[in-house]
Amino acid sequence: MKIYTFFGEFGILNRFVISELEKKLQNDKIHFFTVKTYANILKEHFKNNKNLVLVLPNNELYFEYRRRYHGNPGNEENFKIINSVGYPSVSSYLCKTDTWLKNSNFYNKWIQVENPKINFNKKYSSLYDCISDLYPSKPWEKFADNTNILYDWCHDYLKQKNKTPLKTGYKIKKPLFINPIKNDWIHIFAKKKARSDLQFFEISYYVEICKILKKKYPKKKIFCHGTIESLGKELSEYVDFYPKDFTHSQNVLANCKLFISAWSGMGEFALNCNAKNVIYLKNAKHACFNPFKANIYEIRFPKNTAEVCKKIIPILDKIFK
């Protein structure tokens, strides 16, 4: 049995994972292992499809570090939970991430039994590349057993299937919302935590945006996706609502008039929930994912809050004309 895993970024889930599962599940049964939040989205979206079997251990997985397609579990506690389900296949792309390989049963058995000499240096991009070069016969494979059933969805299936580099993303058949909550609120997502990929901005940018919103549209409520703990107190005097849980976010985003955020997975989630207008703060030139043909406005490479304010006002005037 194969169990496909996905512990990667939220944006990848929205752009590639769900749409490809829609295609695959038409004819094939898929065992799928992911974090609980993602599983809840998939469970509702595919609730009438018996071909999706979600693998959900009793413990929640909390990944300290998620990156791109497959994710890095990051700590021993996460691996204990993962290994209660299984270990990576010897042929899986997961093995090209050092932590996945070092926590695999076949690698550790090989080290214990044969004590190979491994001279890892900067020549190699990963531990797997190193041992494959030093031991081309792949002697560790003989230590695999019937627990080596985990595969990476995006690399082992999706990239293998498409054979070409992935584009912006693929449209899902229907929006992701469950029980839409009709509202005329303005929705924002502001993450306080700094990121080195330049897709997150100082909280002062969002404070100034909220000030403009309250001044121009005093009767409109602001719904901030995230929690006060993650956003900080700077926004609290401007925000009217926070989500009770992620499903609540999902339902209030359904067909919403306006969503404002940095270019992020949460923005792509809003688009998958059929948001009508999205304003992105964006430090990139990449094309945006847009499955249901929303109006997307980009404030690119803003230098300061004054520039953001200057550029956002005509966009708001256009949306609320």
Per-residue pLDDT of the chain (321 residues; tens, 9 = 90+): 999 999 888 889 999 999 999 999 999 999 999 988 899 999 999 999 999 999 988 766 666 545 555 566 767 888 888 999 999 999 999 999 898 999 999 999 999 999 999 999 989 999 999 999 999 999 999 999 999 999 999 889 887 666 555 567 889 999 998 889 999 999 999 866 555 555 678 888 999 999 999 999 999 999 999 765 556 577 888 999 989 888 899 999 999 999 999 988 899 999 999 999 999 998 888 889 999 999 999 998 888 999 999 999 999 999 998
Q: Which residues pair with 274 in a beta bridge?
A: none
Q: Is 129 helix (H, G, I), strand (E, B) or coil?
A: helix
What's the Cα-to-Cα distance from 15 to each of 24, 70, 268, 288, rounded to whole Å?
15, 14, 7, 10
Structure tokens at 261: 């955020």
Q: Locate the DSSP E strands across the chain.
A: 3-6, 30-34, 52-55, 87-88, 148-152, 186-189, 222-225, 258-262, 277-282, 295-300
Instruction: Please tell me the distance from the alpha carbon of residue 251 to that of residue 180, in angstroms, as a whole number.
Output: 5
Instruction: Please tell me the distance from the alpha carbon of residue 79 to that of residue 116, in angstroms, as a whole number.
Output: 24
Domains and CATH numbers, the chain: 3-162 (no CATH), 186-319 (3.40.50.2000)
- Whole-prediction pTM value? 0.88
What's the Cα-to-Cα distance from 165 to each of 8, 11, 158, 219, rounded to whole Å?
17, 16, 10, 46
Structure tokens at 79: 């691996």
Instruction: Please tell me the distance from the alpha carbon of residue 273 to that of residue 225, in angstroms, as a whole number.
Output: 14
